[in-house]
Amino acid sequence: MNRPTHSSPPAEISLQLAAGGWHCSHLYYSWDRGVLARMSAEDISAGRIDVISALDPKGSVAPLRLQTSIVSGHKADFSLMLMDPDPLKVDCVHQRLMASPLGPALTPGYSFVSVTEISEYVPSVEDFSKRLLAEGETEESPTFAPKVKGYVDRLVGMNRQRLTPTLPEYPNTCFYPMNKKRKVGENWFLLSKEERNKMMGEHARSGMAFAGKVSQLITVGLGFDDWEWGVTLWAANPEFLKEIVYRMRFDEASARYAEFGPFLVSYVSSAEAMLDHCLI
């Protein structure tokens, strides 16, 4: 059986994100059991090979980040998280899946398209210095300069992780989209920068309590999707996903100003393990 071949998008239509971040897609699929039941063993076998190839993170045309997960619940059977500077290279994975012999049995369910960025609420070096001074430090203090240098060094790594993230090795993951409210009396965007910074600082401190247990990545859907942000969490234990979401919802930034979309929980796997789990 002849099958189409796929390569990376032509250079002349390759797109870049000017700010230095990456394009990101969360994709969710379900298997149509009725279609699978009517497919030949040959097509299913060939399809498995194509799907495993398309979802190989080390494949020659794979985006820089590709993670497959088995989804818990009926919202989907499996999910993909894809990131690359080139949005067409990200989309190429979806096209390869749909064009494979198993494509007719795939039903795309949900997707979220976004980009990575450095949040406006990340304290600058100047902000960090002002905070030290407000806490009683002086510029002449022997500890002032080392503290500022230490923050500069950490900031470089933190910003690199926000723009070009390395996916953690935790096996449990959860994704949900969210907005900030624009309601009368609860309009996040009418608050002063100082008020927003204060609340986001509280929110960040709540998250820091889960260091070593949970890793988080926030990507921006503004102008790309129906929700403003996408939150991806990875955890060493699924219980930690519940705990961090529960804890952070009490922060004012969430309790008063946040709106949440669907929650999709999944478990990181290889493409082959996903197919075996779904009995394909």
> 200 — phi, psi (to 5°)?
-70, -30
| Annotation marks residue 176 as catalytic | yes
CA atoms of 72 and 173, how far apart (whole Å): 10
SS (H, E, C) 10-69: CHHHCCCCCCCCCEEEEEEEEECHHHHHHCCHHHHHHHHHHHHHHCCCCCCCCCCEEEEE
Q: What is the DSSP letter of 132?
A: H
Alpha helices in 139-236 (DSSP H): 144-163, 193-208
Q: How far is CA 202 from CA 199, 208, 226, 249, in A?
A: 5, 10, 27, 11
Q: Annotate 131-143 with b (16+ C-beta within 10 A) or e (fewer).
A: ebeeeeeeeeeee
Q: What is the DSSP letter of 196?
A: H
> 275 — phi, psi (to 5°)?
-65, -40
Work out the angle between the directed axes of helices 193-208 and 238-248 (0-180°, nearest 10).
150
Asked if 66 and 57 count as a contact pair (C-beta separation under 8 A), the reply is yes
Catalytic, out of 110, 170, 176, 257: 176
Closest CA to 256 of 163, 204, 192, 187: 187
Please give the positions annotated as active site. 176
